[in-house]
């Protein structure tokens, strides 16, 4: 069985396109946030109870909507909702790319990372546009990729971050393995005043990519290749680790 989740919400076009595309090939179940949870990262809910609502279509159970984060959805699916662990977790298809350090903010990527933490193979998949609505290329690529992941497995703690260019099928040049690029958010806030004369701020920043480096997800998606990046939740910088060992840090 394949568990589907996302951060755009249960009824988002991307996840529903993926569910319908995979349903003839495998048993699939959606456990996804009831409402959009974009950019929540790897947040989990501790202060409030999680509510789980069954969702049916034509009298058949298609999944559960959860009033929590993407990571919550994976946790509760594996721990409570499923009788046995899924063969694979797929998070997406996200509306908008999760390239470079943007992946840190992504609830979509974090759901796949949570699955990896739980010892499950996982794929995060995103369409690199907030306006382009044709998910067919991404669906078809996942149809090709998911049996390989199930058959060959992934290294412990590793998940795949897949980004699909938002172009027509005939402009896709192929798929390549990439490393993560670099980017940062250009922080700008829109300052506003509500009817009670209270000031509030709305984040209006944008993602700024560094100079595109060869072999990165940013470069290859820009060149109309599907990028497949293996990622891991170990944030240790091993070169810095060796450097710090030379410091007198004892207390």
Q: Find tokens 């109870």 and name the residue.
A: 49
pLDDT value for 135: 97
**CATH code for position 164:** 3.40.1210.10
pLDDT value for 96: 93
- The stretch 79-96 carries a mean pLDDT of 97
In a domain, 103, yes or no: yes
How many domains does the structure of the chain reveal? 1
pLDDT value for 245: 92
Residue closest to 36 by CA, chosen among 84, 90, 73: 73
- The stretch 209-219 carries a mean pLDDT of 76
In a domain, 47, yes or no: yes
Query: Dihedral angle at the C-alpha atoms of 122, 20, 99, 160, nearest 10 degrees?
Result: 20
d(CA 81, CA 134): 31
Q: What mean pLDDT is reported for the chain?
A: 93
Q: Could you please report the per-residue DSSP string of the chain? A: -EEEE-SS-TT-HHHHHHHHHHTTTS-EEEEEESS--TT-TT----SS---EEEEEETTEEEEEEESS-HHHHHHHIIIII-SS--SEEEEEEEES---TTHHHH-HHHHHHHHHHHTT--EEEEEES-SS----HHHHHHHHHHHHHHHHH---TTEEEEEEE-SS-GGG--EEEE-B---EEEE--EEEEE-TTS-EEEEE--EEEE-SPPTTBHHHHHHTTEEEEEEEES----HHHHHHHTTS----
Would you say 70 and 6 are in contact if contact means Cβ atoms under 8 Å apart?
yes
pLDDT tens-digit profile of 121-134? Answer: 999 999 999 899 99
In a domain, 49, yes or no: yes
Domain hosting residue 227, numbered range: 2-181+213-237
- pLDDT category at 113 given cuts 50, 70, 90 is very high
Query: Does the structure show a pLDDT above 90 at 182?
Result: no
In a domain, 248, yes or no: no
Residue closest to 2 by CA, chosen among 123, 157, 118, 113: 123
In a domain, 188, yes or no: no
d(CA 207, CA 215): 20
pLDDT value for 34: 97
In a domain, 192, yes or no: no
Residue closest to 178 by CA, chosen among 227, 142, 109, 212: 227
In a domain, 250, yes or no: no
Other CB atoms within a 10 A radius of the CB of residue 95 amount to 25
In a domain, 196, yes or no: no
* CA 138 to each of CA 126, 151, 155, 165, 168: distance values in angstroms, whole numbers, following the listed order: 8, 20, 23, 9, 11
Query: Does the structure show a pLDDT above 60 at 209?
Result: no
pLDDT value for 190: 87
Query: Does the structure show a pLDDT above 90 at 205?
Result: no
């Amino acid at each position: 069985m394949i568990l589907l989740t996302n951060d755009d919400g249960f009824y988002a076009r991307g996840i529903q396109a993926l569910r319908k595309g995979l349903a003839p090939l495998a048993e699939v179940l959606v456990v996804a946030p009831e409402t959009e949870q974009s950019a929540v990262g790897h947040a989990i809910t501790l202060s409030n109870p999680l509510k789980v609502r069954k969702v049916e279509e034509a009298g058949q159970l298609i999944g559960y909507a959860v009033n929590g984060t993407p990571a919550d959805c994976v946790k509760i699916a594996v721990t409570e909702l499923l009788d046995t662990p899924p063969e694979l977790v797929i998070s997406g298809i996200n509306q908008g790319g999760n390239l470079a350090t943007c992946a840190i903010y992504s609830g979509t990527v974090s759901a796949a990372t949570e699955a990896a933490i739980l010892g499950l193979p996982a794929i995060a998949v995103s369409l690199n546009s907030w306006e382009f609505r044709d998910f067919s290329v991404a669906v078809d690529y996942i149809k090709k990729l998911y049996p390989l992941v199930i058959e060959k497995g992934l290294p412990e703690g590793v998940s795949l971050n897949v980004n699909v260019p938002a172009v027509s099928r005939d402009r896709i040049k192929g798929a390549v393995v990439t490393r993560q690029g670099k980017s940062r958010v250009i922080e700008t806030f829109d300052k506003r005043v509500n009817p009670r004369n209270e000031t509030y701020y709305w984040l209006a920043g944008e993602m700024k990519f560094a100079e595109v480096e060869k072999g990165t997800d940013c470069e290859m998606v820009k060149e109309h290749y599907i990028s497949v990046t293996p990622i891991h939740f170990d944030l240790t910088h091993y070169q810095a680790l060796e450097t710090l060992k030379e410091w007198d840090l004892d207390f």
